[in-house]
């Protein structure tokens, strides 16, 4: 009997350990994945801890429709204490917005849904916030729902400025964020967000051109930042764009990546640390003449063909639930 009891205790401990490890990481819900044209499927990703029902929105191109499709797929559930649909989810489950840059395909859903949203912070660099204030929340394109900028200020959204390289706590989430600048063509800056939850990291990259074209070395600096996290098995995943197929000429990239350029950038990172098993989620694909899915499949095939690193590539699909957890 003591032996049986010991085995039961050991089995229980192993089950608890496996469950605990499975909860060490992030869940990501793509609300919108296209890099343009499909106005109901534009760049926006929910990210949050596995063990807490709270998210931040990484960009806000499409929100309501994305939540509606995630609900239909069973990827998310509504708060049990209230009825209603996707607006309840947006109000109760999204604690903050992290905006990489102010291009319309990254902010349209945020702006349109501001009227029914609940108060929360928008975290962005000073340059991105200046664009939001001067060109969107300005009482000409849209009312000023922020607590800074042209009066009257409706103060729905609290302006929280991110300084590159500085770690900032995200209220009510248990997460922190660290912003890193990216080059999005012609001197225009985009942003990468490095989320941290209890020592587990997730990297989301807004739009970015390759260093060989942009000539600013910003991706190289970002790779230097995350290489130790990969080496220590603390990076749970990378969300990064590949907007066009590899035959797109460099002068027509407009601050975007292709499979050819993304593989070259990963080779730079791979010189610092082994990429075997690293989870890379592909975002921001621009639909071609055959539609979004056909272009996504083409880009994923090009990435897989050149994948000499052992990276796990996954093409983001609207409404799915991705588990990026401790391996």
pLDDT at 81: 61
The DSSP bridge pattern shows strands 55-58 and 200-205 to be unpaired
Q: Is the peptide bond before 152 cis (omega within 30 degrees of 0)?
A: yes
∠ CA 37-298-38, rounded to 5°: 10
Q: What is the pLDDT along the chain (327 residues), one digit of tens a residue?
A: 445 444 433 444 333 334 444 468 999 999 999 999 999 999 999 999 999 999 999 999 999 999 999 999 999 998 866 666 899 999 999 999 999 999 999 999 999 999 999 999 999 999 999 999 999 999 999 999 999 999 999 999 999 999 999 999 999 999 999 999 999 999 999 999 999 999 999 999 999 999 999 999 999 999 999 999 999 999 999 999 999 999 999 999 999 999 999 999 999 999 999 999 999 999 999 999 999 999 999 999 999 999 999 999 999 999 999 999 986
pTM, entire model: 0.92
Compute the distance between CA of residue 27 and CA of residue 118 in angstroms, rounded to an integer. 23
User: What is the third-level CATH fold of 25-325?
Assistant: Metallo-beta-lactamase; Chain A (3.60.15)
Domain-by-domain residue ranges, the chain?
25-325
Strands 44-49 and 25-32: antiparallel
pLDDT of residue 7: 42
């Amino acid at each position: 009997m003591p032996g049986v009891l010991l085995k039961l205790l050991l089995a229980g401990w192993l089950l608890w350990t496996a469950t605990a490890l499975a909860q060490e990481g992030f869940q990501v819900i793509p609300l919108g994945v296209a890099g343009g044209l499909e106005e109901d499927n534009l760049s926006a990703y929910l990210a949050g801890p596995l063990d807490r029902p709270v998210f931040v929105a990484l960009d806000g191109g499409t929100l309501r429709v994305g939540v509606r499709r995630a609900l239909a797929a069973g990827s998310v559930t509504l708060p049990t204490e209230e009825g209603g649909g996707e607006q309840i989810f947006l109000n109760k489950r999204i604690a903050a917005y992290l905006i990489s840059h102010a291009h319309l395909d990254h902010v349209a859903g945020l702006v349109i849904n501001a009227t029914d949203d609940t108060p929360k912070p928008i975290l962005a660099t000073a340059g991105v916030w200046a664009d939001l204030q001067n060109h969107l929340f300005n009482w000409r394109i849209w009312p000023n729902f922020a607590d800074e900028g042209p009066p009257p200020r409706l103060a729905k959204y609290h302006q929280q400025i991110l300084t590159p390289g500085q770690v900032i706590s995200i209220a009510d989430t248990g997460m922190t964020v660290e912003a890193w600048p990216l080059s999005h063509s012609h001197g225009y800056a985009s942003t990468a967000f490095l989320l941290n939850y209890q020592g587990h990291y997730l990297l989301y990259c807004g739009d970015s051109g390759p260093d060989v074209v942009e000539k600013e070395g910003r991706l190289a600096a970002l790779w230097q930042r995350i290489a130790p996290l990969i080496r220590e098995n603390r990076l749970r995943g990378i969300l990064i764009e590949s907007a066009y197929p590899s035959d797109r000429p460099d002068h027509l990239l407009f601050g975007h990546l292709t499979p050819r350029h993304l593989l070259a950038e990963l080779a730079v990172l791979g010189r610092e640390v082994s990429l075997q098993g690293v989870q890379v989620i592909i975002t921001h694909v621009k639909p071609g003449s055959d539609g979004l899915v056909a272009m996504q499949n083409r880009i994923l095939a090009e990435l897989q063909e050149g994948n000499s690193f052992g990276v796990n590539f996954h093409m983001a699909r609207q409404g799915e639930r991705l588990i990026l957890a401790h391996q």
